[in-house]
Chain A
Amino acid sequence: MTLKKNKEELRVRSIKNGSVIDHITAGNALNVLKILDIIGTTKAIVSVAMNVTSKRLPYGRKDIVKIEDRELIPAEVDKIALIAPQATINIIRDYEVVQKKSVVLPNVITHVVRCPNLNCISNSAEPVFSKFKVLDSLALRCSYCETIIDTDIAAYLI
């Protein structure tokens, strides 16, 4: 038992400074990185844990993302709620959690998700970013053509 516990701790141990995004819906860790614009050439130290045991999330699995030396700001983290509504963000300074918050869906998201309607003006050569109103049901409605995305939002991430 002790050995098992130690192994768990190793897997999810605290970082010195940075942000820990916990309780990500299992399977969405890479989408979270995409939303945060963390790509393969990033210089930051990023740890990703997928399908970690969770008592809180459906199917008992969650993903975790840890980004060292970067404190996420609300505008960045709230976008995560689109694909992981139960995610929590811990801001770490000197191994201590100095701030813990849940993600809150913004009312409007701009340039995060592309409109599935190929004939939408936001998918044209016009100088315009995609813009969606977030509906109560966690669906998105395009502010231009009013197309609704109510399933698999991750598939439309820019």
Chain B
Amino acid sequence: MFKKKHVISMQDLTREDVEFILDRAERMMPYAKSGVRLLQNRILALLFFEPSTRTQLSFDSAMKRLGGSTLNLTSEESSVLKGETLADTIKVVEEYADAIVLRHPREGAARMASEISRIPIINGGDGAGHHPTQTLLDLYTIKKESHLDNLDIALLGDLKYGRTAHSLVYALDMFGANIALVAPEGLQMPKHIIDSLNSVRLAEDVDDVIRDVDVLYVTRIQKERFPDQNEYLRVAKSYRLTLSVLDEVRENLIIMHPLPRVDEIAPEVDGTKYARYFKQAFYGIPVRMALLAILMNNAI
């Protein structure tokens, strides 16, 4: 049974909690396109103080598939522009809705909201902090398209700033995964996270690890992290995943990416049997449906 009121960070969840959510996501799969009336007359508020097309659309779709409806507030709305605090916004919106998904540019915003709010808060991303529903849909994708037990996985890209990578390795470690971290110099995962992992190895070149993994998880290398644009172009090029990199990989390798991608994965990889990133985006629906149903209607 899932007893948490809010979903703010993967660190708040036990392995049992995660397994419970993934199990319920599996039950939602048949309804992810056809819909099911589990949350009729319930309202989900989507408070997005910074843009995030994918997360917002996915939660909107998930709530509507459950028979509920959504309220949308963005940072262009008048109360925010007038300087209303997030705390006040939460106190007002909790009177209008049954749960809130919050995306905010400041780290810790969702945690603060959860301390104030009577209704469930789901963290839809807080600055460079957490994005737990992304991690849950990543885990669901791995479970569906590969396997969570005895997993060999490599994460590739900007592992220093990428919040999806931090939450994901923490969760994978709970399942005993062997994790390889492949990052350009200066963009490797923070030491305190590496030190907390049970089975980890570091590499600078994807060729060193790609033949030994079941999952290759590619993340974006952000241009703004590099003071020198030439250096960015050099690194971005060397981390680009092309068909030639995929020689001699495991037969059942899957490639994931949280999207949006820029140049990290060449389009010709999309057509290979390894690509799973669009399916991964779809899995956001059953996972978010499961989470909404769990938090708003424990009867499932």
Contact = CB atoms under 8 A, between A and B. Distances in A.
Interface residues of A, number: 17
B87 A126 contact: yes
Contacts, number: 52
A126 B112 contact: yes
B112 A125 contact: no
Interface string B97-125: 00000001111110110010000000000
B127 A125 contact: no
Nearest to B86: A126
Given A121-B111, A146-B129, A127 B85 contact: yes
Contacts of A126: 85-87, 112
Interface in A111-152: 117, 119-122, 124-128, 142-148
Contacts of B127: 119, 145
Nearest to B128: A119
What's the dominant secondary structure at chain A's contact region? loop
A23 B106 CA distance: 40
Nearest to A123: B106
B9 interface: yes
A121 B106 contact: yes
Given A119-B106, A128-B87, A148 B192 contact: yes
B111 A144 contact: yes
B108 A121 contact: yes
Interface string A75-118: 00000000000000000000000000000000000000000010
Contacts of B9: 146
Interface in B151-198: 192
B107 A120 contact: yes
Interface of A: 117, 119-122, 124-128, 142-148
Nearest 6 CB-CB pairings of A with B: A144-B108, A145-B107, A121-B108, A145-B108, A121-B106, A121-B109
